[in-house]
Chain A
């Protein structure tokens, strides 16, 4: 079976302006969402308490609300269904510092008489820990990008590195926009998903870039746009296939992985789609617009080859005892 045949080269770069406008709109819309609605930080980063309760029957949310009113600690607590009508999650901003009797225990006491229930999960994150996790999270995103930037600049050329970073920022921005749009809680798992998107999207971009590098080196054609078109076309089948298999698994994770993994899988799902798109329509055009100098690159390669040849000649001479 084949999805694409290499019979003709698609003119991707010809469509790059439209794609770019589309991308810019998406990114701007994401930033607008982030600015107005804002990211919904979960307890991991904001600090607070989560109590997951499972009832024998449908959870009596109204009764629970009534019961929680009894204590100042539960002020502003929200109760939402979690995966099934039997199960709910109580989120609150407050935390407690006592080891023996914590806010989870207080919740258990308060809910007594609301039916037969089991407390399945209690997450308490104090404010100092939350702030620390947030700081670490942002650091990890920045560090990963920096590491990637250095690696790509080293293996390819700085313009490739900058183009791939632009693509990454594009992907992360849109993923964050999507998270904001559906109002997911941003916790550590979402951060892990974002970092995975970094790796995944870059993976795609690098495969395309590798082809462009190969095309630039081999072809005598100094028209960069054409080389890019050809490289993107030739990697299109691979890009689509890998995205498909990854999409399959992430989708099963999203559908069957359970409520706890939902935010993680959703973020990845968005990331796979955006990452695939960006490697074709964002990273490559930026490379083109940066005016990657094919002639200059050829000259550099030629000079390098010449140096190598010169070295080899010297070595040969040395070995045959001429010098």
Chain B
């Protein structure tokens, strides 16, 4: 007996080969080839949605404008007084009105600002557009900075992406321990804002008797020591320079072999630093990181070259992370947690196990049921079902799709629903056989009769899946993906594939009168 080839069986065979070849890397976990990635809920990991306190970015922009005004005045020997700033403006008094044009010229160069003033009192404020721009930049900068930091952290493929207008999505797969998660979170959220500040030597002795308000009156702030919070420093509020002028930071060791951080400033920073140290011999310089004083050495001479050190009580790991943070730049604005989902690896493994049991259990039940109910037609439908699973996995592997726990449920559901097309077709065929048609004619008519219903039914399910994909988040998207691919694949396997098999077996079928063998009904 000869089996007839036909275009349907050829396409089906190609689809199966495609399915097996491209699902192999995922199934066998080979080194090469595109694989399905496991979602955070299955392999364990950390998912965070972060917000950015953008108003802080505006504040720090103002602060740095104030610092540049101060530096300008010192460099040009312009006498100014009452330099103050609030949320969105800087104001100060120019003592010599002859200098006003020069000062105004300097202020005009500050981007996105308006200068108003009566007489010698000048106020520089940011325009509303500039405020919005600064806020937007803070978000982009935060994304960029967090990405840089995580790239150096040593995890595979960290995801850092903007979500919506002002949220940052961070996904870290493969975090194994609580300590590792903690480290990652500290690295991400660390402001890493380095400031070099002048100690106010005139009043430093009184620092323990001062309140914050007293200090503010003199344009000073009180900062704590990083190691010992009981030690306090009174420093000028406007820093000499900040981490924005940093070009490099790396971990090193001091003479006692304790870890410390070496940093280098850019040319502008080096110049400012040199000028300041030259003028301030005998005074102290506070190295301030994230609002804490790490050291406050005496300035013995002018320091050129623009490099320095931050020493503290670090472990090697902390020093390394801190160097990464400094190198990647500081966060312009602090970030805060909006959503967090963290799954331990053991829970992920349990979920994989449980969903595999459900998948295999459901699969076996459906396979057995189809054979008992439809005999040969059931076996053919089962071939289509197995092919469907391979194609589903292959397509997911090719796209590098993420398999989540709901995605697993989607596959399980696909198993139940993919046989639907074959049930519809088989029922139609049975009907036609009862009407007295030959098996051959019944098969052909059965397919064409069932076609419209299957299409309509699948398309509506697809509509629901697509909406789910568009509106779903995270793991739920995975469910929509597996459902959609499963539905599309089932159209190929259950309609085209099984039809091809019947056509191939046509000569056998036409000779046979055994309805029971082929379709499980009495002939």
Give me the interface of A with B, judged by CB distance under 8 Å. Answer: 1-2, 6, 52, 54, 95-100, 102, 104-105, 108, 118-126, 128-129, 133, 136-137, 139-140, 143-144, 147-148, 151-152, 155, 188-189, 191-192, 195-196, 198-200, 202-203, 206-207, 210-211, 214, 234-235, 237-238, 241-242, 244-253, 255-258, 260-261, 264-265, 268
Contacts and interface: CB of A to CB of B under 8 A. Distances in A.
Interface in B438-492: 449, 452-453, 456-465, 467-468, 470-476, 479-480, 483
Contacts of A129: 49, 338-339
B22 to A, nearest CB: 25
B124 interface: no
B427 interface: yes
A152 B434 CA distance: 31
A320 B383 CA distance: 51
Interface string B126-143: 000000000000000000
Interface stretch (B6-14, B79-87, B95-103, B360-368): B360-368
Contacts, number: 244
Interface string B414-426: 0111011001100
Contacts of A235: 427
B21 interface: no
B186 interface: yes
A268 B413 contact: yes
Given A147-B467, A264-B406, A244 B336 contact: no
B467 A245 contact: no
A269 B453 CA distance: 24
B362 A248 contact: yes
Contacts of B344: 118-121
A260 B420 CA distance: 28
Contact of A133 (B189, B353, B430, B473): B473
B340 interface: yes
B372 interface: yes
Contact of B468 (A195, A203, A242): A195
Nearest to B343: A121
- For chain A, what secondary structure do more than half of its interface residues adopt (helix, strand, loop), or is it mixed? helix
Interface of B: 41, 48-51, 178, 182, 185-186, 188-189, 335-344, 346-347, 350-351, 353-355, 357-358, 361-363, 365-366, 369-370, 372-373, 405-406, 409, 412-413, 415-417, 419-420, 423-424, 427, 430-431, 434, 449, 452-453, 456-465, 467-468, 470-476, 479-480, 483, 520-521
Contacts of B417: 200, 203, 242, 245-246
A143 B467 contact: yes
A18 to B, nearest CB: 27
B347 to A, nearest CB: 4
Given A124-B337, A258-B351, A207 B453 contact: yes
B357 A256 contact: yes
Please give me the 5 A-B residue pairs with the lowest Cβ-Cβ distance, nearest first: A258-B354, A249-B362, A199-B464, A99-B189, A140-B471
Nearest to B471: A140
A6 B472 CA distance: 43
B456 A188 contact: no
A188 B463 contact: no
A102 B472 contact: no
Contacts of B372: 1
A124 B343 CA distance: 12
Contacts of B472: 140, 188, 192
B7 to A, nearest CB: 27
Given A242-B417, A242-B420, A140 B468 contact: yes
